[in-house]
Amino acid sequence: MSRQPWALAVLFLAAICIAQGQNPLANNRKAAKAGEYEFRINCALCHGLGARGGGRGPDLTRAQKKHTHNDAEMFQTISNGIPGTAMPANGTNGQGVGMTDTEIWQIVTYIRSQEVKASAKMSGDPVHGKQLFFGDGNCSMCHMVDGKGGRLGPDLTAVGGSRTREAIIDSIRNPSRRLAWGLTESTKEFPQEYETVTVVTEDGKQIQGVTLNEDSFTVQIMDSGEHIYLLEKDKLKSLKTSRESMMPKYEANVLSDKEVDDIVAFLASVGAK
């Protein structure tokens, strides 16, 4: 009984706020706590505990987000997903049962509260980083940024805006430690994990490349010359798949900490656009 007037007031407030695209629970600490648990249940699978990115999903502790400029847009993103990406609409990822509007606002509040804590200052020199990326670092032989570069590895145009600095450095220093993460079945339309595959064809030709896709009977490969091979497994002499990345390990004697910082700063400057 005693809860009812309060609940009505919140509903009324919520109606006004939503009409204006505002979060009715903005800066509400209790809501942020509730949102943290909702986040764990519904979002952490891809975005990681603490919203700092999980390999599949972007780091959400960054203040600047590619698809979301204000709370109302974040609410829409969570509700409807992002077409063309692995971000599913609320309640359709097969994990959770879906959230109510209030629960979504709690998550928005939680994500905002995490942003305050994260300090995303970049120490590197993006101009020098760009030179390294397209020059001596050889990154662009396999990676594209803004339409320039190679196709063998993932396009890195958006990576600076979606991954933490630590995650990018880790991928440069230890590329095999974590390949692109596979996705759960419900979002399997984005299956590429960049595994390394080596095959020997019937006529003895050896091909090494990354898998574009694979099932039990066929494999689709791109090699370092960006040739695409469409192969039937039972017609191959041998096939070996490895989670050892084709990307070389960039140790400190190849790229110094300062140089890595510069590359990260470059990627961040592009990704922030």
Contact footprint for another protein (CB under 8 A) = 36-37, 40-41, 44-45, 49, 54-55, 91-92, 94, 96-100, 178, 181-182, 184-185, 188, 193, 214-217, 243
Residue 140 vs 245, nearer CB to another protein? 245
Which residues neighbour 118 within 8 Å (Cβ) at sequence distance 6 or greater? 52, 61, 62, 63
Residue 120 vs 239, nearer CB to another protein? 239
Q: Residue 5 burial by CB count (10 A; 0-12/13-18/19+): exposed, middle or buried?
A: exposed
Residue 179 vs 263, nearer CB to another protein? 179
In whole angstroms, the minimum distance from the beta carbon of 228 to another protein comes to 18
Q: How far apart are CA 205 and CA 10, in angstroms?
A: 69
Which residues neighbour 86 within 8 Å (Cβ) at sequence distance 6 or greater? 46, 56, 57, 183, 187, 190
In whole angstroms, the minimum distance from the beta carbon of 45 to another protein comes to 4
Give the neighbor-by-neighbor strand order of the sheet with 218-223.
228-232, 218-223, 206-214, 196-201, 236-242
Residue 55 vs 150, nearer CB to another protein? 55
In whole angstroms, the minimum distance from the beta carbon of 7 to another protein comes to 12
Residue 76 vs 184, nearer CB to another protein? 184
Q: How far apart are CA 207 and CA 190, in angstroms?
A: 24
Asked if residues 160 and 268 have their Cβ atoms less than 8 Å apart, the reply is: yes
C-alpha triplet 187, 42, 10: angle, nearest 5°:
135
Which residues neighbour 253 within 8 Å (Cβ) at sequence distance 6 or greater? none
In whole angstroms, the minimum distance from the beta carbon of 230 to another protein comes to 13
In whole angstroms, the minimum distance from the beta carbon of 94 to another protein comes to 6
In whole angstroms, the minimum distance from the beta carbon of 154 to another protein comes to 17
Residue 59 vs 261, nearer CB to another protein? 59
Q: How far apart are CA 9 and CA 225, in angstroms?
A: 64
